[in-house]
Amino acid sequence: MLSLLATTILLSMPAALPTDEIILTNGKVLEVDKIKTETYAEVTYKKNGREGSKASDEIAELIHDLSASVLDDYASALETMELGEFSAAARRLTGVLEDKRVVDSSRYAWVKQHAMFKKAQCISALADYKGTVSAIDELLLAVPGSYYYAPALMLKAESLKASGDNSGAEKIFKQLGDGVESKGLPARWGRESELGLLILDRALSGDAKQRALTGLAEKNAREYPTVAARARVEVGNAMIAAKNY
């Protein structure tokens, strides 16, 4: 049994404060007191009274503390999304975006762009490509410097491609690639743009397309393995299309 002194010490210790988490691409988890700002260039935070920042291309995921009761609906929407109930999740996220206690609060300013992007993902999962494009346009209009700027453009381009609008998809892939220079987006997005445009290139087919995709996979294997992996998948798709198997 605990002694009276030990019990007194335990009871007098302050409860652990809620924390936000920054999941880095190298697998490390950075626990911080608060994530302060999120843009396509960087994420700033406060930890132990000091401020710090991480370049957005070093970050795999941002996890905010959801213990405040005002965020219950948002937390519920995320749980619904994880269950694969995308239609219900999209409706709940719409409700969150209409909740002025949240979206008009500087404390929860981050919720707006997170909810809008996740809503677009839900709509995409329902194969409503027109709705996805509309949701992304709303996000980028409302939060032009969004942390999700590049992923949102990728989702928009893929949605346009899935709907058969290849010329529209090419335009968005080019916008994404141009953003590396004009907006300082991480170089990875230039490689994603290059891959997207290559897949859509109607001037290449058969062995020529397979060689180009293989070259792109090799080019990205070390620095951008996720891009390389997608390129390898497309090599297989090109082989099937050419009946080269």
Q: What is the pLDDT of residues 60-101, one digit of tens each?
A: 999 999 999 999 999 999 999 999 999 999 999 999 999 999
Q: What kind and span of H or E run contains 31?
A: strand 29-32
Do residues 57 and 186 lie in contact, with contact meaning Cβ atoms separated by under 8 Å? Answer: yes
Can you tell me the distance from the alpha carbon of 197 to that of 177, in angstroms, rounded to the nearest whole number?
10
pLDDT the model gives residue 238: 82
CA 23 to CA 237: how far, in whole Å? 32
Listing DSSP states for 104-141 in one string gives T-GGGTHHHHHHHHHHHHHHHHTT-HHHHHHHHHHHHH
Q: Are the C-beta atoms of residues 182 and 153 closer than 8 Å to each other?
A: no
Structure tokens belonging to residue 5: 């002194």
Q: What is the pLDDT of residue 4?
A: 55
CATH of 17-65 given 2.30.30.100, 3.30.1340.30, 3.40.50.300, 2.10.60.10: 2.30.30.100
How many CB atoms sit inside 10 A of residue 105's CB?
A: 13
Question: Tokens 């209009």 — which residue?
Answer: 141
pLDDT digits (tens, 9 = 90+) for 2-26: 455 555 544 554 545 569 999 998 8
